[in-house]
Amino acid sequence: MKFQFVHNNINVVNLEASLQFYTNALGLTEHHRKVQPDGSFILVYLEDETSGHLLELTWLRDWEKDHYNLGDNEFHLAFEVDDFDAAYEKHKEMGCICFENKAMGIYFIADPDGYWLEIIPGRRN
């Protein structure tokens, strides 16, 4: 029996703001979406250019709060980037860097809902 990662899901309050963030900050593009016929939810699946792994953004029409409770926010997704310095400058300009660990050579950005995304340099030979 063999299992393979397919996608991760996060719930978002403002789907358009999240789509704009993930497109601008990480270069993700829409792979496909599912819209519930009654309009109660929309699922948008985003992809990068190479991995095949999808990020599912879930928007719920009847969500009544202005945010999701992320608890201690000890979970995150990690993205490897081929030009770490350029990515850092872009995210610095966007104002979305929320934590840096210079000793480890990584940093985190936060999306519009407060989810943390780890940015790591591309693998070195």
Give the CATH number, domain containing residue 45.
Answer: 3.10.180.10
Q: Can you give the pLDDT at residue 125?
A: 40
Tell me which residues are annotated as active site.
Answer: 118
Domain for residue 1, yes or no? no
Q: pTM (2 decimals)?
A: 0.91
Strand stretches in the chain, DSSP E:
7-12, 29-35, 41-47, 54-60, 77-81, 97-101, 106-110, 116-121
Domain for residue 22, yes or no? yes
Q: Quote the domain boundaries for residue 26.
A: 7-61+74-121
Per-residue pLDDT of the chain (125 residues; tens, 9 = 90+): 988 999 999 999 999 999 999 999 999 999 999 999 999 999 999 999 999 999 999 999 999 999 988 887 678 999 999 999 999 999 999 999 999 999 999 999 999 999 999 999 987 54
CA nearest to 46, candidates 14, 7, 4: 7
Separation of alpha carbons 10 and 113, rounded Å: 9
CA nearest to 21, candidates 32, 12, 34, 31: 12
How many domains is the chain built from?
Answer: 1
| Under 8 Å between Cβ of 7 and 56 | yes
